[in-house]
Amino acid sequence: MPEYLIVLAAYLLGSVSSAILVCRLMGLPDPRGQGSGNPGATNVLRIGGKKAAAITLLGDSLKGLLPMLVVHWLVVSPLALALTGLAAFLGHLYPVFFGFRGGKGVATALGVQFGLYWPIGLSIAATWLFVAKVLRISSLAALISQGLAPVIVWWFWPAPELIVMQTFITLLLFWRHRSNIRKLLSGEEARIGS
Mean pLDDT in residue range 9-21: 95
Alpha helices, DSSP H only, in the chain?
3-14, 18-25, 41-48, 50-74, 78-93, 106-116, 118-135, 138-156, 160-176, 178-186
Question: What are the boundaries of each domain within the chain?
Answer: 3-186
pLDDT confidence of residue 194? 65
Q: Is the pLDDT of residue 1 over 70?
A: no
Instruction: State phi, psi for 27 to the nearest 5 degrees.
Output: 70, 30
pLDDT for 108-137, tens place per residue?
Answer: 999 999 999 999 999 999 999 999 999 999
Q: What is the DSSP string of 12-49?
A: HHHTS-HHHHHHHHTTPPPGGGSTTS--SHHHHHHHH-
CA separation for the pair 184, 48 (Å, rounded): 25
Residue 76 confidence class, pLDDT cut points 50, 70, 90? confident
pTM of the model: 0.93
